[in-house]
Chains A and B, each alone.
Chain A
């Protein structure tokens, strides 16, 4: 709508204006133009600080290291695709979730959240923009890590040929989705928790400790692979399941097929984002 505003517009000595009447243009709060603007803003937010590459570099290096070591370790029956799934799923992917957490919590840590809310039509739109940007960056992390994982195999003298190469590519392709979902899940949890340190420490302790313990205990019991239904386990299983065999022999066989594991993980990411959205909508920004 357009309503004339007395005295409002360009030409005042104090405030060189962008254009008369700009203040009353009221595009739909969900218009593509609005959302695109928010996407660009989120991208600029992330790329204008060091966190994105400070997390990306170790993600790639650890993938390279893991595939290099497994290729050298002749004693273990690692196929290249399994090595790749292990490197990406169990190691590099953790950096994608931290990226998502950082993207979401940096705003309250640096007190920019108020400005971000004030320049967006609403809080849901801002979260949507964050989720999309995190997904894109997460997929980028996946690609970067996959390339480095492949390099590690080559450097390690692994025999990546023919059908094995195809299998490695399959794992790597699904890894892009898994990494994107990790980053999205991080944005959701980060928005929910809102405290950067608590969010990062909490998630890492859960993934690296709690879930490992649950998985270990489950494998000793008759419960089977229940850890495949947990957030970290489902993400890992969607890659290792695709690779076709268990990394360290079999502890009770496969829990779920890779596509179901991916679906379960998608569910966790979705729940995290919805929970974050609900929390953000109600939160007072002091």
Chain B
């Protein structure tokens, strides 16, 4: 066996102090995390956060500037017969368009050293048997994703690394993929799946690693992510100033005025707010408790990306158009996301604020009147 160390057969992926620079750009900075076998680990982050770079470094396609990634205790290039240990879906366009699906797979059965009949097995597994003799150029994006997954499974790997596998799949395909990942992991094998959308994998993953701007911002169970958050209460009342004063006397100080002449109260349940309002003699017109949901938490964790880069001037990323990357503008249910919008007056003074707490309602609220 080549190289140092032995294949420990654990199925564990260990990322240690990974840093990758592309010229002046630091795509990943001092990233460390561990992916355990027997469960599905989600690898989350916005576009450009360094997910793909990390996954490709794990697969030996990219040489780290610093640090290393091991699978089964050794680097990918030391695995000897790597495709029988790790299967990877990286690119839904990684095909010669004029090749037929079966011909594509039979290239890699030969390279890996498994029987050619394995090509038909994986085609059946991903539901592409009928398309085996069709040219890949005529495949839809969803079919190419399935074929990419089939390619990853050729070597019957112990570890599965999937980079955005859900993109292009129809709802049925996404549901199937979820079930597949679950059952793959339930046999004691490892699944590491990246996504830029929490909702896509929230129901599937046991563990998440969230990165933003190349660094880790969270590692743990999804419930932990949810547990850290505080509830918020939005109140419309007769006298916001008096209610705010009364709440402050009760030790509730995180209060924001909203443009609809209401209050956004963080850190107190609606029952407390109601009791205080009654005691203070303030009539309540409307009150809504907002459970800070995972998506919001995820957006808050990764929000720094655009805010930090906008002031860089030339060379920095242009602010995304309203509605992109800032679902608060167009999507219901994400009131906390509005401050993501670069250039928004309310956010100018708080660049890159890392973690959550409730964002001021002032700037975001006009956009959200409808959904609320």
Contacts and interface: CB of A to CB of B under 8 A. Distances in A.
Interface in A103-132: 106, 110-112, 114-122
Nearest to B188: A7
Contact of A49 (B2, B79, B96, B154): B96
Q: Which of A4, A13, A121 has the most CB of B within 10 A?
A: A121
A38 interface: yes
Contact of A14 (B2, B80, B94, B183): B183
B34 interface: no
A5 B11 contact: yes
A27 interface: yes
B153 interface: yes
Contacts of B157: 23
Interface string B1-40: 1100011110100000000001000000000000001100
Nearest to A282: B63
A286 to B, nearest CB: 7
A146 B107 CA distance: 31
Contacts of A117: 60-61
Contact of A15 (B1, B7, B11, B125): B125
A27 B81 contact: yes
Contacts of B6: 1
B97 interface: yes
Contacts of B279: none
Interface string A10-53: 10111111110011111111000110011011001100111000
Interface centre among B156, B157, B188 (most CB of A within 10 A): B156
Interface residues of B, number: 66
Contacts, number: 169
A12 B96 CA distance: 31
Interface residues of A, number: 53
A44 B11 contact: no
Contacts of A28: 2, 80
B110 A5 contact: no
Interface of A: 1, 3-10, 12-19, 22-29, 33-34, 37-38, 40-41, 44-45, 48-50, 106, 110-112, 114-122, 282, 284-286
Interface of B: 1-2, 6-9, 11, 22, 37-38, 52, 56, 59-63, 77, 79-86, 88, 90-91, 93-100, 103-104, 106-108, 110-115, 118, 121, 125, 151, 153-158, 179-180, 183-184, 186-189
28 contacts: A3-B9, A7-B38, A8-B189, A9-B156, A13-B183, A14-B187, A18-B114, A18-B115, A19-B156, A24-B85, A25-B81, A26-B1, A37-B111, A37-B113, A40-B110, A44-B110, A48-B100, A48-B104, A49-B99, A110-B95, A114-B59, A114-B91, A115-B108, A118-B60, A118-B83, A119-B108, A119-B154, A284-B56
